[in-house]
Structure 1
């Protein structure tokens, strides 16, 4: 499988090779096209997202205990309404957004809304990624869903090669369905039509990934696994402060925040290939966060796209002293002027996002600058809910 990080292209740091990387582009000058869209829309500031990853629905057919997205049972969840989908397309167009990524919940349990949004977005914003647990990968469902995706415009992108991301981990979707989806995608479409990826999240206690089981099953059924077509994302579950009922995550946190800061990349630098950055996250209730990591700190929530204009929210992000410090410093190390090593050497945690959460609080205390974000309510799942696994970008 193609490991993440093989092809990373950052604006201003060398040429872009089209059709390479998990988040491949079709153009050799994508940043020029993206900048032109921003300029035409009159969007300025150091934070201008290339993509918004949004929850089409929080309904899911599964019930994974470590869900990072806060999905709920199909009977209890909600799906974006037609009016909300119409508003999103208008808001995305207004700011010259280049692409979106659709997630859930499970988007295919809200298939009418999914196909409707794709059709609405056609010619306005690229559908750069669709994340699914593959529940639809039956003998009859696989060709049917692929045809509906094609008919709805999933492949009609102008900048990005659309990516189908199949997530495996705690999900109960039988692996033969995942294998069938991968086989159909890689035999019926070229890498210029469609990208394919498997996201495998493991429990930090044993760090076991089901992807190896998937490969073995695929080869028993179809022959050689298409390693040259399928991108791999292998991570472990992370704690999520927005989900009070999330199953406990036992991940050792012995790395100092200083080390996390030193290793942090610039998540606000325009990037394609390995990632699409900057990338925002919109929850199903409209809350927008300036980072698309599923465990993004709550203080990076800057507004609600159903109550406010996207332009207003972008202005709020760009007024954030913390975001400006991270952007100017090309990563979390940019916060070191306000939160020096003498402080961060004594702080430990288990992830980049965990470091970010700790640093925001320290940054506010050191500078007296209260973040304009963090105004969003903490997401609280329904009482007694069993949560489904989440998705990382």
Structure 2
């Protein structure tokens, strides 16, 4: 039954050379040419790696209490917890000047900062695209109101990207009925060329019933027929990424040798399964080249509030591991670390495999 349910969704893994098709897609087939032309008109003309998306935490606070949350959002009690409207406006201006055409909003839970989020989208119109918003979907209780305000703010007025909303389900306490409301509203009001919607489903190993099955059954009960072939599905397992977790969970593991063959991000321009290249900024301003919340310190690009975006972009292009992965891919670590070491060590994800390799290379001065 689970496989039958998954077949109702669009797979993110089906590769297609057409940029207008995919979890993250473009409005036109000339996407790559249009982006290149747009970036050439901005200030950043010398860098080889030119990000096409800037992902950031608008807040690191959340209204759910997921035990295995990789962001540890529910345990953040001190420090900067959100970006204010003036910081958001400045970020839009900086991205525009430096030739980064789109931003993606994550958290925490971004819709806790809904008013500021809408202000930013409105301010960015005719400057930048909003490429993605990821949420737990709690606002699906009042779905009409939220979509009306997002539309009024210009959510659908992008130049390059089809905007994407990704709803995360797993340990979240948001009623699945609210998520169903969002699915039904999107399927009823927007063509896939106007707005992408995805479900990010995370499983616990050994769970008797998945949240995906519960979501599907809830939808059928409330609305009847499910909108086949309209909603994208990202399906994965929880891993031990919560740094503050009191106990580890049972997970699937693989050798580092195998893990580093699973990441296909080469920091080249791409849309579809993911968007690349990008920069990820935590709420405190710390920036990294990948959308991973517990990134290794040797991938740290600097703090946006301290050194500014031009220096962040310079550090991105000068980072030795970014340059290495761009040239060889993460699988290139097999050429600098012996297979014996890679096969004797295990990890839960390709990101952890990459992290292992970076740490090993740093400790042994293998990449300069």
Q: TM-score, normalised by structure 2?
A: 0.90
Aligned to 2:256: 257
Unpaired runs of 5+ residues, structure 2, are: 1-8
Aligned to 2:298: 299
**How far did 1:208 drift?**
5.3
Question: How far apart, in 2, do the equivalents of 1:75 and 1:176 lie?
Answer: 30
Structure 1 pair 208/51, CA: closer, same or farther in 2 (3 Å)?
farther
Equivalent positions of 1:279-298 (< 5 A) are 279-298=278-297
Return the alpha-carbon distance in structure 2 between the equivalents of residues 44 and 60 of structure 1: 39
Q: 1:322–1:363: 8 Å Cα contact kept in structure 2?
A: no
CA RMSD of aligned residues (A): 2.2
2:236 is matched with: 235
After superposition, the C-alpha distances for 1:295-324 in whole angstroms (9 at most, x for unaligned) are: 433332211111222121121122122221
How far, CA to CA, are the matches of 1:346 and 1:354 in structure 2?
A: 14
Matched, 1:50 2:52: yes
The separation in 1 between residues aligned to 2:47 and 2:336, in whole angstroms, is: 22
Contact 2:201 2:235 in 1 (8 A): yes
Asked if 2 retains the 8 angstrom alpha-carbon contact of 1:322 and 1:335, the reply is no
Structure-2 residue corresponding to 1:311: 310
SS in 1 for 2:260: helix
Tell me: CA distance 1:74–1:225, structure 2 relative to 1, closer, same or farther (3 Å): farther
SS of the equivalent of 2:225 reads coil
The aligned counterpart of 1:383 is: none
* Mapping 1:339-350, distance limit 5 Å: 339-350=337-348
Inter-partner Cα distance in structure 1 for 2:262 and 2:58 = 33
Structure 1 residue aligned with 2:91, among 75, 80, 88? 88
- Distance in 2 between residues matched to 1:346 and 1:7, nearest whole Å: 32
Q: Distance in 2 between matches of 1:114 and 1:155?
A: 14
Contact kept? 2:119, 2:153, Cα under 8 Å: yes
**Judging changes above 3 Å, is the alpha-carbon distance between structure 1 residues 159 and 62 closer, same or farther for their aligned structure 2 residues?**
same
Q: 1:310 to 1:236 in 2, by over 3 A?
A: same
Contact preservation (8 Å) 1:270, 1:278: yes
Does 1:179 pair with 2:180?
Answer: yes
1:360 pairs with one of 358, 361, 367 = 358
Cross-structure match for 2:268? 269
Shift of 1:244: 3.2
Q: How many residue pairs are counted as aligned between the two chains?
A: 358
More helix by share: 2
Conserved 8 A contact 1:57-1:106: yes
**Which residue number in structure 1 is paired with residue 214 of structure 2?**
213
Cα deviation, residue 207, structure 1 = 8.4
Which runs of 5 or more residues in structure 1 are unaligned? 10-15, 371-393
Partner of 1:197: 198
8 Å Cα contact 1:261/1:355 also seen in 2: yes
For 1:296 and 1:260, the matched residues in 2 are separated by: 16
Task: For 2:61 and 2:249, locate their aligned partners in 1 and report how far apart those are by CA, in whole Å.
Answer: 26
